[in-house]
Amino acid sequence: MKAKIQIPIFVFLLFFSANMIYSESEDKETIEINAKIELEKVSRNIINALRYGRFLLADTEWKKIQSEVYKSYPEYDYLNGSLLYSRMEWQEAKESLNKALKKEPNHEAASFLLGMIYAQEDSWSEAKNTWMETNQISPYNPFYHYNLGLAYYILKDYNNAILSLNKSLEYKANYNEAKFILAKTYLELNETEKAKAELVTILEQDPKHVQASHLMGRVVYSTEKDPKKSLTYLKNVRLLGWREKKVYARCYFEIRKWRDAENLLRPIAYSPFADEYDQSFYLNLLLNLGYDERANDFFHFIQKQSQNESKIAEAYRMLLSSREGKDLLYHYFKLRY
């Protein structure tokens, strides 16, 4: 009789134990599913907040996913890297993004943002290499191809810049930013007509595009030698690049507006990369304006310059190009400062 009673009890215990194991497994799976759902929702909120500069909202949302259940996901590390990026904490952001990519090598957003950090640090070669990987993960994004093309342009790899920028335009036909960098690239290769063609399409679509207008003035002077016509394209002196400053200074000089020419050329003449033509031109301007004492001081400044400043000049050019590049990059997130 006792043996008959013990068998059902054993079966019951076995069933109860199995049911508990199944229940625990089910609870763990439910927790993971709910964590993924919550993480996706919070991720959207943080990304949108960072895009529109709503940093307090981004920080508030981040606090919602600080339990251990979220920290194993690559998205957690990506979001942390994004918040650190917005605070310009580059090193910590890189570490977090690399964690995300270690967990999920095809995380395109983490790869793209990692390239942005390298660009912010003036490490354009690393940015280029990273964005090459981003484009392998997501080959149809025009903004990724654009940033890669810009990196190639700054690194003076003009042929690859053209390839990447044309790829960007293949996926976004009226992308004026890509056309603008393409025009600048053609000018570096002395392919003036191709540059002009790109600038014409930009200005037809957006007549108020200041940078394209400035570049068109440079092209007009190069092809037509008409200083007055070239100056009609000058919209804002403060936004001129150093190459354009040289051109417009020459235009002002030719129409005898020597003060305007001197104002534009002064930062070029005193820079490490001014060539002999720039220096002679500036000296001539000072003499034409009757600034004999300043002309004498500038002459002595030239004499004191070291003949071994080519490396400094190249570094200066690179920093100027990098600063320009950071302004022209496609930025997905705003920065807090």
Return the domain boundaries, the chain: 39-138, 260-336
- Mean pLDDT (whole number) for 42-59: 95
Alpha helix (H) residue ranges in the chain? 2-51, 55-62, 74-86, 90-103, 108-120, 124-137, 142-154, 158-171, 176-188, 192-205, 210-224, 227-231, 242-254, 258-269, 276-288, 292-304, 310-328
The pLDDT value recorded for residue 50 is 96
pLDDT of residue 214: 97
Best CA proximity match to 70, nearest among 48, 112, 106, 41: 41
CB neighbour class for 308 (10 Å; exposed up to 12, middle 13-18, buried from 19) = exposed
Residue labelled with tokens 């004499």: 303
pLDDT tens-place string over residues 300-317: 888 877 654 566 667 777
Instruction: Output the average pLDDT for the chain.
Output: 89
Smallest Cα–Cα separation from 324: which of 270, 244, 250? 244
Q: What's the whole-number mean pLDDT along residues 144-149?
A: 98
For residues 286-292, give the mean pLDDT.
Answer: 91
> Residue 2 has what pLDDT?
45
Beta-carbon contacts of 64 under 8 Å, excluding residues fewer than 6 positions away, are 38, 42
Distances (CA, A) of 303 to 151, 179, 276, 310: 36, 42, 12, 16
% of the chain residues with pLDDT over 90: 70
Q: Pick one of 1.10.4160.10, 3.30.2130.10, 1.25.40.10, 3.40.140.10 as the CATH number of 39-138.
A: 1.25.40.10
| CA–CA separation, 19 and 98 (whole Å) | 41
Indicate the DSSP class of residue 208.
T
- At 214-256, the pLDDT tens digits run 999 999 999 999 999 999 999 999 999 889 999 999 999 999 9
Average pLDDT over residues 325-332: 89
Decide if 144 contacts 331 (C-beta within 8 A).
no
